[in-house]
Chain A
Amino acid sequence: MSVTLARIEPSIAGVGDYVALLKPRVMSLVVFTALVGLLIAPGHVHPVIALTALLCIAVGAGAAGALNMWYDADIDARMLRTAGRPIPQGRVTPGEVAGFGLTLAVFAVATLGLLVNWVSASLLAFTIAFYVVIYTMWLKRSTPQNIVIGGAAGALPPIIGWAAVTGGVAVEPIVLFLIIFFWTPPHFWALSLYRAEDYARAGIPMLPVVAGEAETRRQIVLYTLILAPLGVAPWLMGFAGPLYGIAAIAGGAAMIALALRVRAERHGHVASKQMFGFSILYLFLLFAVLLADRLWGGLAAQAVSHFAA
């Protein structure tokens, strides 16, 4: 029996390639929204434990990103937006990426479970599995509802942050989950309007490819009309102050105005590019104001109790 050994080429992958596999921009949004979930949760958690939880959530999100790039290497190579990623560029092999992603995922979940609590660890494991198996392996290539359902994975971090403090789940983080969940479709469909050729070339059934631009623009308006009132809900439900309420109303109104401009646009994609850019700012603004509101509220309450004493 003869055995043929494949020639193994020494790797030229640098640290930057492995950082790119973690999708650092997505990771930063995940960490930020998890931080908000963690800070608005009732009760106290030691800063070291909170930092450990955030680190585990960040690494878990990075692992999911790496596993997504491993599975999607074939379609990444066909799309302009993703052709520069480490696997299509030949700097890292798919096997190395799969090993890298799985190792980080197991480490992140185990560390979160052992050092913080198992409820948050289970939610992190579910998020990674949902993103990799349900979204990447199944929905992305089979239905135009891919980013609607798959968006649940990106919306879970505030719940994980909350669970890291309380060991459970409550209405408040679920409202934050819903905000991100209904933000995802208009955000990605705005992008897919001016990247439709790219998605069509890769065979991904994004809404503009399958249902056309007009239907996509209509759905962007519908989802934005659900998103804007949801954005105000934390104020209406009493877990955010008036400053948040004003920001959410103004931001929501701007989102609806942009969505209507996207709907009215007949030629070019100026409005959809503006919608895509502003949607990132809108989500960041909502969570940043919620964070500032909560920190300011905490400081003010401390000051009041100090002077009362």
Chain B
Amino acid sequence: MTIVSDAMDETPPPPFPPPLAGEGQGGGIRLTEQQLRARRSRSIAIALALGAFVVVIFLVTLVKLGSNVLTRPM
């Protein structure tokens, strides 16, 4: 047996630790269907809440400024 073939017999170390349950190749997190659905519903709720907040600020601005909203110093 040559030195070269001895070296070839050794198992090379894996480039990354083996993935755990729920992880994709390379250690990244792969979401389950349930997690994806939950994240989507949370994202929609946050978008709706932000939209509602913008509408509230817009309406209160109109109410507070009244007709002065059209007054612009030239």
> How far in angstroms is the closest Cβ of chain A from B34?
6
A52 at the interface (CB under 8 A from B): yes
| A49-B60, A49-B63, A55-B56 known; A13-B38 Cβ under 8 A | yes
Contacts of B34 in A (CB 8 A): 12
Q: Which of B10-56 contact A (CB under 8 A)?
A: 22, 29, 31-32, 34-35, 37-39, 41-42, 44-45, 56
A11 at the interface (CB under 8 A from B): yes
> Are the CB atoms of A14 and B35 closer together than 8 Å?
no
Please measure, in the bound complex, the distance between the C-alpha atom of A100 and the C-alpha atom of B36, giving whole angstroms: 20
Are the CB atoms of A10 and B59 closer together than 8 Å? no
Set of chain B residues within 8 Å of A55, measured between Cβ atoms: 56
Which of chain B's residues have a CB closer than 8 A to the CB of A11? 35, 38-39, 42
Contact A10–B60 (Cβ < 8 Å): no
What CA separation (Å) do A217 and B56 show in the bound complex?
47
Cβ–Cβ contact B35 & A18, under 8 A: no
Q: How far is the CA of A8 from the CA of B41 in the complex (A)?
A: 20
Least distance between B41 CB and chain A CB atoms (Å) = 5
Q: Does A309 contact B (CB under 8 A)?
A: no
Task: Tell me if A15 is interfacial: C-beta within 8 Å of chain B.
Answer: yes
Interchain CB contact under 8 A, B41 and A14: yes
* Residues of B close to A15: CB separation below 8 A: 41-42, 44-45
Decide if B60 touches A48 in the complex (CB within 8 Å): yes
Q: Residues of B with Cβ closer than 8 Å to A?
A: 22, 29, 31-32, 34-35, 37-39, 41-42, 44-45, 56-57, 59-60, 62-63
Extra 9 A-B pairs, beta carbons < 8 Å, given A15-B42, A18-B42, A52-B60:
A9-B22, A10-B29, A10-B39, A11-B35, A11-B38, A55-B56, A111-B56, A115-B56, A115-B57
- In the complex, 9 of the A-B residue pairs with CB atoms within 8 angstroms, ordered by the A residue number, are A10-B22, A10-B32, A10-B39, A11-B35, A12-B35, A12-B38, A18-B42, A49-B63, A115-B57
